Amino acid sequence: MSNNISGKKFFRQPTVELAKSLLGKYLTFGKLKGIIVETEAYLYHDDPGCHAGCGLTERNAPMFGPAGRTYVYLIYGMYHCLNIVSGKEGEGEAVLIRALEPVQGIELMQKRRKTKKIENLCNGPGKLTQAFGITRRHNNLSLIDGPVHILNNRAKPEIVSAARIGLSAGKELELRFYIKGNKFVSRIIASRFY
């Protein structure tokens, strides 16, 4: 028996729904495991912040493929970002995994991240790929058949939405989602909306 999310139906939810549904779920890679606590949605239509917005390129090609695969890219020449491809095939959409709460394999994460502090292991998109050892070699792999898995969890977290982080375009859209009060979220920015 496994609580691996089986079938592609889960990943075929609309991207924003998937971004929220992923919160509270487990992400595993080998013996490493964490709870997804922060995500961002990137949409094909009316989203200037999306990599796929300018059409198909060599880099963003996985985003245009079927939902339920990985899209890993290098950012700032040093860090990797892990996304889960979503949306319809032919329309480039994805969910960026921004932060995890470490659950298993913490010693290895500490070694790779060169810190003992649990809150600093996976509280950012570049940090969690470093802690997990995820690189572009893990780009465009199936989340059902491949090494990276999403596991079910009973938790029903309370979700906060906010503006996405680090963008020059599309930062006005509230497409960032995280678990309210969770201390492993990358950072908290006061909403512009009171």
Only segment of 2-10, 19-27, 75-83, 172-180 that touches DNA (CB under 7 A): 75-83
Read off φ and ψ for residue 154, nearest 5 degrees. Answer: -70, -20
Min dist. Cβ of residue 29 to DNA (A): 16
Only segment of 18-26, 125-133, 152-160, 174-182 that touches DNA (CB under 7 A): 125-133
Kindly tell me which of 154 and 162 has the beta carbon lying closer to DNA: 162
SS3 of residue 12 by DSSP: helix
Indicate whether 94 belongs to the interface with DNA (CB under 7 A): yes
Exactly one of 60, 70, 86, 182 binds DNA (CB under 7 A); that residue is 60
Q: Where are the beta strands (DSSP E) in 108-185?
A: 148-151, 159-162, 176-179
Min dist. Cβ of residue 3 to DNA (A): 26
Nearest to 17 by CA among 78, 112, 86, 118: 86
165 CB-side CA count, 13 A: 20
Read off φ and ψ for residue 109, nearest 5 degrees. Answer: -60, -40
Positions in 153-172 near DNA (CB under 7 A): 164-169
What tokens appear for 95 in the block?
A: 């969910």
- Binding footprint of DNA on the chain (CB under 7 A): 40, 42, 49-52, 54, 57-60, 63, 71, 73-79, 81, 83, 94, 96, 113, 115, 120, 124-128, 164-169, 186
